[in-house]
Structure 1
Amino acid sequence: MKVCIDENLCQGHARCVYFAPDVFEIDDEGYANVREGMENVPADQQDNVRRAAANCPERTIIISE
């Protein structure tokens, strides 16, 4: 699984960080990013990333299987 964030849509709700803190982080401006090296999501984090995507109010998390 690969994951990315549409930076044009992110509003900084940080729900992704709540559900998958090992994969997502908040930058200095308050917007979410995928942590460096986590673009290819490890198997043990995939459910967390799916929950994060489902709970993102702006639907900014893009998952490709």
Structure 2
Amino acid sequence: MKYVVDSALCAAHGLCADTAPDVFTLDDDGFNAAAGRTVDVPEHLEAAAREGAAACPESAIQIQD
């Protein structure tokens, strides 16, 4: 699976990284570091990626199966 972060929607809440720190990282300004890119998720972290995406109040993270 993959995920993509919509940079226009990311509001730097940081809940994705709080929920799934092994999947999501933040840049120096608190925004998702992968904003605007598609990222491959290792199979063993897929559940964490889904939880982190669901934690985003802006729905900025889309999971692609």
Percent identity, aligned pairs only, is 40
Query: What is the aligned length?
Result: 62
Q: Which one has a larger percent strand, Structure 1 or Structure 2? A: 1
- Kindly indicate whether residue 15 of structure 2 is the aligned counterpart of residue 15 of structure 1: yes
Partner of 1:50: 50
Calculate the TM-score normalised by the size of structure 1.
Answer: 0.84
Structure 1 stretches of at least 4 aligned residues deviating more than 4 Å after TM superposition: none
Find the aligned partners of 2:43 and 2:56 in 1 and give their Cα distance: 21
Structure 2 unaligned regions, length at least 5? none
- Unpaired runs of 5+ residues, structure 1, are none
Please report the RMSD computed on the Cα atoms of aligned residues, expressed in angstroms: 1.5
Aligned twin of 1:60: 60
